[in-house]
Amino acid sequence: MVETNRLIEKRIRASALYHDLQKALGQMCDLLGEAAGAAIGPMRAELSEMLLSGGKRLRPMLAYVCYRMGGRRDKPVTPLMSMLELMHTASIIHDDVVDGASRRRGKPTINNLRGCRAAVQSGDFLLAKAMELLHNYKGTGVNEMLAEVSYNMTIGELRQQSMRYEFGSQSMTAYYDLITKKTALLFAASCWCGAIAGGMDDAAAGYLYNYGEMLGIAFQLRDDLIDFSDTSGKGLGQDIINGVFTLPMLMLMERGTPASLRELLYKKDKTESEVSLLVDYVKQSGALDESESVICEKSRQAMLMLESFPHCPEKKALGDLVLSLAERQS
């Protein structure tokens, strides 16, 4: 998501909250560094590199902005930000193992460097360090929310793996359920937990939860479109290669595709030219434009969840994040 990340970073830097946010993120990184420093052997350096050098920190940023919207600052926010980043990073490490990925953020994955066993243990270690911070939010509902999200993320990944190349079970309904569980619910929980830690009441925090869910869906839709462009850094058509249908392909399957292309799509071991043929077919079909329209609609729904809040720098920052995803990539 190189282009999307650049748009997000540009809007964040323009935010009135930027300097306060950077300070909070710095404090979060101190906690992440402590977590990685507790690791053993080679794992310590690799986890430090992964935790401290990559990503746009979207989930902790959402938590911080929503925390400020709460107004009362009932609980500290940096442990929450750290938990969210630890959970997200652990899920990335585990996903790389499942997908057999060799690179992440332009660098070798832990499973590539140390093997799958070390990578799984690294992800488990980060989850354990996240749990150490739960005591800060006892009695607020934050612990229960994050436990439920962890469960759903795991279920989502298991379902996706069981559906690979099982094209009869892949549908629009199944797809939206997967991206909600795997991506959107952690966005939603980041917003809700930040708001609750900041003293916001449940009803208002519920709007931010819904905002985060729609934002997360738009984020994953945007990420899935990158698979059909030259900006992913992973090569074109990785979802097609891995037997996973994302929104553009599902749109084509619903309207019907030529038998020859359908047969090629169902083929497990595709050549580079066959993958290129399928990618070109999707590009020429208009499905990418239709998917852009869906992203705009999910973004509009996210913006609607902000309407009841008074104008403030925090509300503008949340709106700008939506706009960075809704903006067409080319």
Judge contact between 182 and 156, C-beta under 8 A. Answer: yes
Is the pLDDT assigned to residue 243 strictly greater than 70? yes
Average per-residue pLDDT in the chain?
A: 87
3-state secondary structure the chain: CHHHHHHHHHHHHCCCCHHHHHHHHHHHHHHHHHHHHCCCCHHHHHHHHHHHHCCCCHHHHHHHHHHHHHCCCCCCCHHHHHHHHHHHHHHHHHHHHHHCCCEECCEECHHHHHCHHHHHHHHHHHHHHHHCCHHHHCCCCHHHHHHHHHHHHHHHHHHHHHHCCCHHHCCHHHHHHHHHHHHHHHHHHHHHHHHHHCCCCHHHHHHHHHHHHHHHHHHHHHHHHHCCCCCCCCCCCHHHHCCCCCHHHHHHHHHCCCHHHHHHHHCCCCCHHHHHHHHHHHHHHCHHHHHHHHHHHHHHHHHHCCCCCCCCHHHHHHHHHHHHHHCCCC
Strand partners, 104: 107
Is the pLDDT assigned to residue 21 strictly greater than 80? yes
What is d(CA 66, CA 198) in angstroms, rounded to the nearest whole number?
A: 8
Q: For a pLDDT cut of 90, what percent of the chain falls above it?
A: 51
**Average pLDDT in the 14-41 region?**
86
Backbone φ and ψ for 15, nearest 5 degrees, come out as -75, 145
- Give pLDDT, residue 230: 62
**Average pLDDT in the 81-105 region?**
86
**Average pLDDT in the 233-257 region?**
83
What is d(CA 50, CA 174) in angstroms, rounded to the nearest whole number?
A: 31
- Give pLDDT, residue 77: 95
Confidence of residue 168 (pLDDT cuts 50, 70, 90): confident
Is the pLDDT assigned to residue 122 strictly greater than 90? no
**Average pLDDT in the 46-63 region?**
85
Is the pLDDT assigned to residue 69 strictly greater than 60? yes
Confidence of residue 330 (pLDDT cuts 50, 70, 90): very low
Least Cα distance to 47 among 119, 148, 145, 112 occurs for: 119
Residue 124's domain spans which residues? 2-326
**Tokens 């990420």 appear where?**
223
Is the pLDDT assigned to residue 49 strictly greater than 90? no
Is the pLDDT assigned to residue 232 strictly greater than 90? no
Domains contained in the chain, number: 1
Confidence of residue 5 (pLDDT cuts 50, 70, 90): low
- Give pLDDT, residue 112: 84
Exposure on the CB side of residue 206, measured as CA atoms within 13 A: 3
Is the pLDDT assigned to residue 233 strictly greater than 60? no
Is the pLDDT assigned to residue 247 strictly greater than 90? yes
Low-confidence winner among 9-18, 46-55, 124-133 (lowest mean pLDDT): 9-18
The winner for highest mean pLDDT among 51-60, 134-143, 262-271 is 134-143
**Tokens 């938590």 appear where?**
63
* pTM score: 0.90
The winner for highest mean pLDDT among 180-184, 235-239, 275-279 is 180-184
Is the pLDDT assigned to residue 7 strictly greater than 70? no
Judge contact between 192 and 65, C-beta under 8 A. Answer: no
- Give pLDDT, residue 2: 47
Q: For a pLDDT cut of 70, what percent of the chain falls above it?
A: 91
Whole-Å CA distances, 150 to 212, 220, 274, 324, 330:
16, 18, 37, 27, 34
For 183, the token pair is 């991506």
**Looking at residue 240, which CATH number applies to its domain?**
1.10.600.10
Q: What angle do CA 173, 216, 105 make, to 5 degrees?
A: 115
What is d(CA 232, CA 285) in angstroms, rounded to the nearest whole number?
A: 21
Is the pLDDT assigned to residue 267 strictly greater than 90? no
